[in-house]
Structure 1
Amino acid sequence: MNRSVPYDSAVVKHKEGNIYVYIEKYFKDDVTKKVEYRQQFPIKKHVFNPYRVHLNYYSYQPYYFYVKKDSTAKRQVRAYRYNLNSDGAIKEEIGVTLWDRNLDDIIEEETIDYKAIYNYNEKNQLISKNYTELGHVPGLPDHDAEFYDTGYKTPFEAYTYDERGNLTSFRLYTDEDKSKRRIVAKEEYKYNERNNLIWKRKWATFVYGSHFKLINDLEFNKKGDVAKVTTFENDGKTVHLWYRFEYFGYDEYDNWTGFFVYLKDSKKPFGTGKRILEYYKEEKE
């Protein structure tokens, strides 16, 4: 098995004061390769993408072994490998960790974190993922769902679609077996006759205490931006509060530049948001 990684890369550095506390490095060849993987349906903003692929990167924390003199955080590479079927769709995803403990760009050790098998229906829509060979309880890269303290180590994802091919639901379970599993994360979606997203319900997946609200409904305007958010009590029925967004600026690319946010029916906004967007022209070789 090839443990090498390409050297042509982009580096992201995180600093606190004069100390680099975290460094990530992404590989351009990996980006070029994975962007060619065929997507099964158009990607929609605010809708979970079951076909998303993950980039290889290495990361390390120089703060620990330069300042704290602790060498346990040596550089590691997180790599995601994909096997394709005959029509170019992904049939298997493999997550691995490669260790460069001497920081000499030579990989000394490789461990498999998980494998995910992709399952399709007769319309070639991805309907589920089976996770196998987990090396540890994972923080899955697709979303922020956590399995810590659940006692389960066999995640199972399931997806449904409407007659027009729009994703209508996403579910993350602790097991494929219906008699054993419990649900960890889920989202539901509704669309208008033009296939534009108009409503989304999201169940929170990472909650430390009962005072957090688990269920949120999002409604969207004609431009696909969030227009209203309704937060429910944990019974899923009682409305805790709701607030709405009013956008007052869009740029030439139809991206918003400013908004007011109102609590319930208030006529006076309690918050304002503004942003400046900077665009870069892609240079062709």
Structure 2
Amino acid sequence: MEFTIMAKTKLAALLLTLLMAGTAQAADLPATHYAPAQAVLPVFTWTGLYAGVNAGAAFSDSGRPRYSEGPGFVGLNPGTLAGFQRSREQTGFVGGGQFGYNHQVGRIVLGLETDFQYAGLDRRRSGTGTFPNLPAGVTDNDNLTSRSRLDYLGTVRGRVGFLPSERLMVYATGGLAYGDVDVRTSYTVIGTGPFFPGGVNVIPYSGSRSSVQVGYVAGGGVEYAFTDRLSAKLEGLYADLGSSSVTARYTGTGGTGPTDIYTVRETNRFGLVRAGLNYRFTGL
């Protein structure tokens, strides 16, 4: 009996010793710490729909107009047409809005944009002349004018952009352009003497025409996203809407026929410089 009690006592002491040794070794092991999960920040992207506004200036091309006379028209005085064909480049305000979509692939951004805006571009021409060496009592003074006005402008363009940095885009753009062009012209002869039948001393001509012209537009710009939703851009464009013609007819009273006309054809080419602000609806 004594042996059994002593054996059990020794076994219990041995188990207690082993348990205390294991606890001590476990206490000496380095503690394991689990780091909290890190939030993944979204990467900025240009992909998504956007809309915005723009404003700037338009500069007309001062190319020479084409002028032609009907078979019944009496020719212009010397110098009248030369003065009429000279014209300064005109500047006007443009402003409106745009809507588009971008898709970013790496450092390349492909997009499609359409815009529509008011265009206050108004070009005027004027030429005057007087026949020299006329007989006594005879005078002949001519005044030829023309006005070409662009009332509105719209474009549908593709865009190809490159990203020097995450939020800075340099792009080229081009596509279709359209606009309403109003052309007017008038010609007045003021004279005295036997060359003016029926005693008429004022011979007036006039004509007007408004049409939607379609052409192309091309250019480029730079755009910077200063927040995840807002970006500002600056771009320059060149647009060519073809040419518009207007025919003037005699509007007075007298013996003129249907061929007593002249025609003016104006080119519709101009440059645009404008700044804009865009808001992106999708993509962060």
Does the alignment reach a TM-score above 0.5? no
**TM bucket, shorter chain:** under 0.3
Higher helix share: 2
Q: Which structure has the greater CA radius of gyration? A: 2
Q: Could you state the TM-score of these two structures normalised by the residue count of structure 2?
A: 0.23
When the two structures are superposed, what TM-score results if normalisation uses the length of structure 1?
A: 0.23
Q: More strand per residue: 1 or 2?
A: 2
